[in-house]
Amino acid sequence: MTNDEKVRVLYVGGCGRSGSTLLDRMVGQLPGVCSVGELGQIWKAVAANQECGCTVPIRECAFWRAVGERAFGGWGVVDVRGLHALHRAVVRQRHVALLVAPELSRTYRRRLRAYAAVVQRLYRAIRAVSGASLIVDSTKHYVNALLLAGVDGIDLRVVHLVRDSRGVAYSWNKSVRRPESVHGGAHMNRYGTVRSAVRWIGYNAGFDALATAGVPTLLARYEDLVDAPRVELGRIVGWAGLDVEDPAWSFVNGHEVQLGVDHTVAGNPMRFRVGSVRLRVDEEWKERLPVAQRRVVSLLTWPMLLRYGYRGDAATRPSTPAMRSPRIGRPAPQTL
C-alpha cells in the first residue's frame, strides 16, 4: 500500500443514540479494519488527554502517539487547540453552503484547504500505523461527512444508520454518565422530546441529502443490525469493498458478539466495553416513554418513519432498496 493510494473510510452517520458506536466497534473486529470512533473529536480528545478506548490517556496510548508522530512529528509540536478552532470554523452546520461552494468566501476557502490538508495527513497516518485497509469513523454528523467527501486522497463510503425516532427520543432523555475521567463524572447531553425529534429529522435529512447529491451512501437500521448482526454486517462491509473470509466472522455467534480493544477517541460509553456483548433491540421506550411524548415524536417524524420502514410501534424491513447508488458528477466540494 503506497501513500498515493486513497484511504478507504467507512463513515457511520446518523442521529446520536442510534447505535453508531456499536456498529463502529462490530466492524472494527474484522481483519483489515481500524475502528477510531468519533474522529471528529480528535482535537478535543488530545487537548484534554482524554482516555482512548484502550483506557490509556490518548497522548500516552502507543497507537495514537505513533499516529501523532507519523502525521505531525508528535502531538507536542501541534497547536491542538488551534486545530480545534479551525475545525469549528470549517465543519459546522451553518457552513454547509460554503462547503458546497467554497468559492463564495476567500477566507472560508483558505481555512477549508488548510483543514483538509490536516485531515488528509491524519487519515494517512492512521492507515500507516494500523496497517488497515478500511478505517471506520463514527463521528455521525453529515457536515463532517460532507467535508470528507471533498478531501483529496479519501475514498469515502457512508453508512446512514437510522433508529426508530421514539427510541432515540427516549434514549436522549435518559441520564448517561461520561466514563472519561477528564469529565469528572459529568453526564452526557440530554434533550427533551421535541428537541430530540427535531435533531432526528435534521440529521437524517442531512444524510438523505448527501445521498441525493451523489455521496456513496448505504441505508441501514439499528433494529436490523441487532436482529441479524451477521447478515447486516456482511452487507455493510461488502458494500464498503471489504472481502472477509468465513473464519473472520467467528466473533459473531448468533446474537452475541465478542469485542476486543479498539483505539476509539470518543463515542458512547460502550466504546470501552470488552468481551462478550449480548445484542438485543432496546425497546424500553415502548413501556417507559409517556404516551403523550410518543405521540408528539410520532407526529413530528412520521413521514421519515414511513420512509425508513417503521410502522406504528413495530419495526419492519424497509420496502425500498437499502442501497443508494452513487450518481455521476460532482458529489462534493473540491477542497484541495
Cα torsion 118, 17, 268, 246: sign:
negative
In which band, very low, low, confident or very high, does the pLDDT at 332 lie, cut at 50, 70 and 90?
A: very low
Model pLDDT, residue 84: 97
CA-based nearest residue to 124, from 152, 163, 92? 152
In the chain, pLDDT over 90 holds for what percent of residues? Answer: 84
Buried b (16+ CB within 10 A) or exposed e, 237-268: bebbebeeeeebeebbeeeebebeebbbbbbb
CA-based nearest residue to 260, from 235, 241, 277? 277
Cα torsion 21, 24, 26, 29: sign:
negative
Give 169-174 contacts, CB < 8 A, sequence gap 24+: 169/193, 169/196, 169/197, 169/200, 169/285, 169/289, 169/293, 169/297, 170/284, 170/285, 170/288, 170/289, 171/17, 171/282, 171/285, 172/16, 172/17, 172/196, 172/199
- With a CB cutoff of 8 Å and minimum separation 6, the contacts of 6 are 153, 154, 155
**pLDDT exceeds cutoff 80 at 191:** no
Model pLDDT, residue 173: 86
Amino acid at 295: R
**pLDDT exceeds cutoff 70 at 316:** no
Model pLDDT, residue 334: 39
Amino acid at 303: P
Q: How confident is the model over 280-297, as pLDDT tens digits? A: 988 999 999 999 999 999
Q: How confident is the model over 25-83, as pLDDT tens digits? A: 999 999 999 999 999 999 999 999 999 999 999 999 999 999 999 999 999 999 999 99
The C-alpha cell that represents 11 in the structure block: 463513515
Q: Do 269 and 38 form a contact (C-beta atoms < 8 A)? A: no
Length of the chain as a residue count: 336
The span from the CA of 193 to the CA of 172, in Å, is 8
The span from the CA of 65 to the CA of 113, in Å, is 25
Of the ranges 9-18, 173-182, 320-329, the best mean pLDDT one: 9-18
Most distant CA pair in the chain, distance: 57
Q: What is the CATH number of domain 7-165+177-184+218-281?
A: 3.40.50
Model pLDDT, residue 34: 98
Q: How confident is the model over 127-186, as pLDDT tens digits? A: 999 999 999 999 999 999 999 999 999 999 999 999 999 999 999 887 666 665 555 556
Q: Do 267 and 24 form a contact (C-beta atoms < 8 A)? A: yes
Q: How confident is the model over 215-247, as pLDDT tens digits? A: 999 999 999 999 999 999 999 999 999 999 999
Model pLDDT, residue 175: 60
Residue 192, phi-psi category: left (phi > 0), alpha (psi -120 to 50), beta (remainder): beta
In which band, very low, low, confident or very high, does the pLDDT at 322 lie, cut at 50, 70 and 90?
A: very low
Model pLDDT, residue 317: 40
Q: How confident is the model over 192-206, as pLDDT tens digits? A: 899 999 999 999 999
CA-based nearest residue to 41, from 96, 87, 90, 99? 87
- With a CB cutoff of 8 Å and minimum separation 6, the contacts of 70 are 125, 128, 129
